[in-house]
């Protein structure tokens, strides 16, 4: 398995490429070095225990934080600051209380000065596709947690980003809503043909949504496994009871058991 | 889907409206009763003991003077209101600007904040006569005194409001390639408005107080001047009438500030009348 990342890093310069990226905060070695690349238009899930540096990894990809060593690049360009071609979704929806759902979605377009009629139509359309079209004039406090997170996803997608980065986006939602959101995220990222990187604690969520799953170890985070998940899309939630699916889940769980993250 | 929530909201609003009338009566009754009682005891005390008017005028006498001298009082209120408004607006604009600078720059914060605290700690009434020395007799001294009186709460609340912006939200904005100015304008300032309004409501009621004290010292117009003159010539009923006018003015502008607040930040939790969950 150790050889897998090395061969991946030799992939073409398209898409996202991480080359020996690591991060330290003073004495604390957060993660790395890790190397992998993500093909355009695919979904990558990263699953790992708390504190393995996966959120930091995402912030490096978004250009919000510099890597201590190594190089992250996107479409051949080094990512050193926000390039404006990523859409971010955090665990908290971070909607602005004083804006309606639609105006929240349009925030990134306003920052870029591209808030024209076409963009407004696209924003309304995204809300429609995410099942909250009837709430575009509602304020965040009038919406439920799941609805708010849908608005946040629409906001991340409105400027047609090349990458959609999601950091534990559904951790604050109840189990049923979370299942709904998994299906919804699959549909919308297929429709929008956006490269998706999902960070999660949930093994099932990672396998369900990913074309590929990276399993990370505890701090300092390194890549324990790199699994191709080749189930056809669109996937149905019932896939999670499929033997092939549970086999992958088990494979990941065994990694965590072996490294002491989970006690079998 | 939207029709479902719309109906829900309308039903809720109607329920609120149905409760409003008796609620209003119940909430108004105790203060009205207590006011009537206090005034009646006051009136009775003055009449039974034949207290001379220059010591303590009866409420009915104050009301009579208020009506007789209404033109004078309103004209003088005009001067006081003008000084209050001018001073308050200057304090508001400069207070928000200084607050924004403090929250934006750590160096500015370190350099300026201690001076603000010191200036606030100085009893302002004591330095009122100095304003007469520095800025002369008249409107300038008075307006500047109002500024000194009302500046601090606005600055402090602006700083607190701007600094309380969610760091994760600011990071998200940065990922959307927002410039610092855009973040300030679209995220920090709207988010700070509820806190700034809290400061505005403290300041605005202090503005007429500052103006009146300024008029005590450095003016020959305004209600403060009327008050000083009336007390000096033992026209105590007129002094009381002036106090009544100043108080009503203070209450009125407080409610005006509340109304503006309600219009400006209808989204804030404190203003959401229809949502209880």
| Per-residue pLDDT at A165 exceeds 90 | yes
CA distance A220 to A227: 20
Indicate the average pLDDT of chain A.
Answer: 89
> A69-116: per-residue pLDDT in tens?
998 988 888 888 888 889 999 999 999 999 999 999 999 999 999 999
Q: Which residues of A touch B191 (CB under 8 A)?
A: 96-98
Q: What are the tens digits of pLDDT across the range A167-223?
A: 999 999 999 999 999 999 999 999 999 999 999 999 999 999 999 999 998 888 889
Given a cut of 80, whether residue B19 has pLDDT beyond it is: no
As a whole number of angstroms, the distance between CA B167 and CA B165 comes to: 6
Out of A71-85, B165-179, B212-226, which region has the weakest mean confidence (pLDDT)? Answer: A71-85
What letter does residue B222 receive in the DSSP assignment? S
What residues of A are in contact with residue B265 (Cβ under 8 Å)?
Answer: 98
Q: How large is the average pLDDT for residues B81-87?
A: 96
Q: Is the CB of A82 less than 8 angstroms away from the CB of B269? A: no
Residues of A with CB under 8 A from a CB of B: 59, 62-64, 82-84, 86, 88, 90, 92, 94, 96-98, 107-108, 110-112, 134-135, 138-139, 141-142, 159
Mean pLDDT score of chain B: 88
Q: Which residue has the higher pLDDT, A229 or B10?
A: A229
Report the pLDDT value the prediction gives residue B4, as an integer from 0 to 100. Answer: 39
In angstroms, the CA A257 to CA A109 distance is 45
Q: Quote the minimal CA–CA distance from A64 to chain B in Å.
A: 7
Q: Residue A43 — pLDDT band, cuts 50, 70, 90?
A: very high
Whether residue B44 is predicted with pLDDT greater than 70 in this model: the reply is: yes
pLDDT tops 60 at residue B232: yes
| Residue in A with minimal Cα distance to B180 | A111
How far is A113 from B171, CA to CA, in rounded Å?
Answer: 19
**Cα B121–Cα B127–Cα B133 angle in degrees, nearest 5:** 150
pLDDT of residue A264: 57
Asked if the model's pLDDT at residue B277 lies above 90, the reply is: no
- For residue B273, the model assigns a pLDDT of 59
Q: Which residues of B touch A96 (CB under 8 A)?
A: 169, 186-187, 190-191
pLDDT at B20: 59
Residue whose pair of structure tokens reads 């959307």 in the numeric block: B176
Average pLDDT over residues B74-83: 96
SS (H, E, C) chain A: CCHHHHHHCCCCCCCEEEEEEEEEECCEEEEEEEEEEECCCCEEEEECCCCCCHHHHHHHHCCCCCCCEEEEEECCEECCCCCCCEEEECCCCCCCCCCCHHHHHCHHHHHHCCCCHHHHHHHHHHHHHCCCHHHCCCCHHHCCHHHHHHHHHHHHHCCCCCEEEEECCCCCCCHHHHHHHHHHHHHHHHHCCCEEEEEECCHHHHHHHCCEEEEECCCCECEEEEEECCCCCCCCHHHHHCHHHHHHHHHHHHHHHHCCCCCC
Q: Which residues of B touch A94 (CB under 8 A)?
A: 166, 168-169, 172
Closest CA to A32 of A10, A12, A5: A5
Kindly state the average pLDDT of the residues B146-162: 93
Q: Is the confidence at residue A9, as pLDDT, over 80?
A: no
Average pLDDT over residues A136-150: 94
CB of A35 closer than 8 Å to CB of A6: yes
pLDDT score at A8:
43
Q: Name the token pair of B199.
A: 């400061």
Closest partner residue to A94 (CB to CB) among B168, B182, B193 is B168
- Give the three-class secondary structure for A116: coil
Assembly ipTM: 0.87
Q: For residue B12, give both structure tokens.
A: 């809720």
- The answer to whether A46 and A206 are in contact (CB under 8 A) is yes
Secondary structure class of B188 (helix, strand, coil): helix
């Amino acid at each position: 398995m150790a050889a897998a990342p090395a061969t991946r890093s030799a992939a073409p310069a398209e898409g996202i490429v991480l080359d020996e990226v690591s991060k330290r905060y003073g004495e604390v070695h957060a993660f790395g070095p890790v190397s992998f690349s993500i093909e355009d238009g695919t979904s990558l899930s990263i699953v790992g225990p708390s504190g393995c540096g996966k959120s930091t990894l995402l912030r490096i990809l978004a250009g919000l934080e510099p890597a201590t060593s190594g190089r992250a690049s996107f479409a051949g360009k080094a990512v050193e600051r926000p390039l404006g071609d990523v859409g971010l979704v955090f665990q908290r929806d971070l909607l602005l209380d004083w804006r309606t759902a639609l105006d929240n979605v349009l925030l990134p377009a306003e920052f870029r000065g591209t808030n024209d009629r076409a963009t407004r139509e696209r924003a309304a359309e995204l809300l429609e596709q995410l099942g909250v079209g009837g709430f575009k004039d509602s304020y965040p406090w009038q919406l439920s947690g799941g609805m708010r997170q849908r608005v946040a996803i629409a906001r991340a997608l409105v400027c047609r980003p090349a990458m959609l980065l999601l950091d534990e986006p559904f951790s604050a939602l109840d189990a049923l809503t979370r299942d709904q959101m998994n299906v919804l995220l699959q549909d919308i990222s297929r429709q929008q043909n956006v490269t998706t990187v999902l960070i999660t604690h949930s093994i099932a969520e990672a396998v369900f949504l990913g074309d590929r799953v990276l399993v990370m170890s505890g701090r300092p985070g390194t890549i324990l496994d790199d699994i191709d998940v080749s189930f056809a899309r669109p996937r149905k939630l019932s896939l999670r009871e499929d033997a092939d699916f549970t086999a992958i889940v088990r494979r990941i769980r065994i990694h965590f058991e072996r490294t002491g993250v989970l006690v079998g | 889907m939207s029709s479902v929530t719309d109906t829900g909201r309308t039903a809720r609003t109607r329920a609120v409206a149905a409760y409003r009338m008796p609620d209003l009566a119940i909430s108004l009754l105790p203060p009205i009763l207590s006011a009537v009682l206090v005034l009646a005891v006051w009136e009775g005390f003055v009449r039974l003991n034949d207290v001379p008017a220059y010591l303590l005028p009866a409420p009915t006498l104050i009301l009579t003077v208020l009506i007789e001298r209404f033109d004078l009082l309103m004209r003088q209120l005009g001067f006081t209101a003008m000084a209050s408004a001018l001073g308050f607006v200057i304090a508001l604009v400069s207070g928000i600007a200084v607050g924004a600078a403090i929250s934006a720059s750590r160096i500015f914060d370190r350099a300026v904040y201690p001076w603000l605290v010191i200036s606030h700690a100085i009893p302002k009434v004591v330095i009122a006569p100095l304003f007469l020395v520095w800025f002369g007799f008249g409107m300038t001294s008075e307006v500047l005194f109002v500024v000194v009186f009302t500046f601090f709460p606005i600055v402090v609340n602006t700083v607190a409001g701007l600094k309380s912006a969610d760091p994760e939200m600011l990071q998200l904005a940065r990922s959307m390639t927002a410039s610092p100015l855009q973040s300030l304008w679209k995220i920090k300032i709207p988010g700070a408005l509820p806190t700034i309004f809290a400061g505005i409501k403290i300041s605005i009621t202090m503005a007429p107080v500052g103006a009146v004290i300024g008029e005590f010292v450095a003016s020959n117009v305004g209600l403060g001047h009327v008050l000083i003159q009336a007390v000096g010539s033992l026209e105590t009923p007129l002094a009381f009438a002036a106090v009544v006018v100043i108080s009503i003015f203070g209450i009125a502008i407080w409610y005006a500030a509340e109304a503006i607040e309600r219009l400006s930040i209808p989204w804030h939790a404190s203003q959401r009348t229809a949502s209880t969950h």
